[in-house]
């Protein structure tokens, strides 16, 4: 049994958004190597919570999560994908992305996009392995703050 086999994915819509957000912010450094706290605005948990998921271990620990949304023009935007440091390389990130893809597809999305820092080699590797093409967007996050926009089709 792999470490991801004991994990259940639960949509944020089934949880208390305020409580989950607070727990994830407290545990931030177990999920992230850089400070992403400003990217965890309440809107991702409250108004867009129907598109987010929490990965919980059998003993009730938060071990991964995904924040995203599907826009009116059928673009699925994956805002954040996080797997706790001791659960990486178990397939959990792929499970979360597959959960989001299915939900996005069912909502009518045709493509999914991710915006990543060019130096985030793990994110770039995961999304390109899933079929995304990358486009460098200069100054996307402000002057001198380039980002990669990774886009892939949701067609089956």
CATH code assigned at 84 = 3.40.630.30
pLDDT digits (tens, 9 = 90+) for 40-72: 999 999 999 999 999 999 999 999 999 999 999
Residue 142 in any domain: the answer is yes
End-to-end CA distance of the chain: 29
Q: How many domains does the chain have?
A: 1
Q: Measured at the alpha carbon of residue 23, what is the angle toward residues 83 and 122, in degrees to the nearest 5? A: 20
Q: What confidence category does residue 156 fall into, taking pLDDT thresholds of 50, 70 and 90?
A: confident
Write down the pTM of the prediction: 0.94
State the chain's mean pLDDT as an integer. Answer: 95
Residue 2 in any domain: the answer is no
- Give phi and psi for 85, each to the nearest 5: -55, -35
Closest by Cα among 25, 30, 23, 70 to 51: 70
Closest by Cα among 127, 103, 104, 105 to 115: 127
Give the number of C-alpha atoms closer than 13 A to the C-alpha of residue 112, restricted to the C-beta side.
27
Residue 99 in any domain: the answer is yes
Residue 1 in any domain: the answer is no
Query: Domain containing 119: what range?
Result: 7-153
């Amino acid at each position: 049994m792999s470490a991801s086999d004991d994990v259940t994915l639960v949509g944020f819509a089934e949880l208390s958004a305020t409580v989950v957000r607070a727990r994830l912010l407290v545990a931030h450094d177990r999920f992230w190597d850089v400070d992403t706290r400003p990217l965890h605005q309440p809107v991702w948990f409250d108004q867009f919570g129907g598109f987010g998921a929490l990965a919980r271990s059998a003993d009730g620990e938060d071990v991964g999560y995904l924040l995203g949304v599907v826009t009116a023009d059928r673009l699925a935007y994956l805002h954040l994908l996080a797997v706790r440091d001791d659960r990486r390389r178990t397939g959990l990130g792929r499970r979360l992305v597959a959960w989001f893809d299915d939900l996005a597809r069912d909502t009518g999305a045709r493509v999914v996009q991710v915006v990543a820092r060019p130096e985030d080699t793990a994110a770039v590797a995961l999304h390109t392995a899933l079929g995304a093409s990358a486009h460098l967007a200069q100054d996307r996050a402000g002057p001198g703050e380039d980002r990669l926009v990774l886009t892939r089709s949701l067609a089956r």
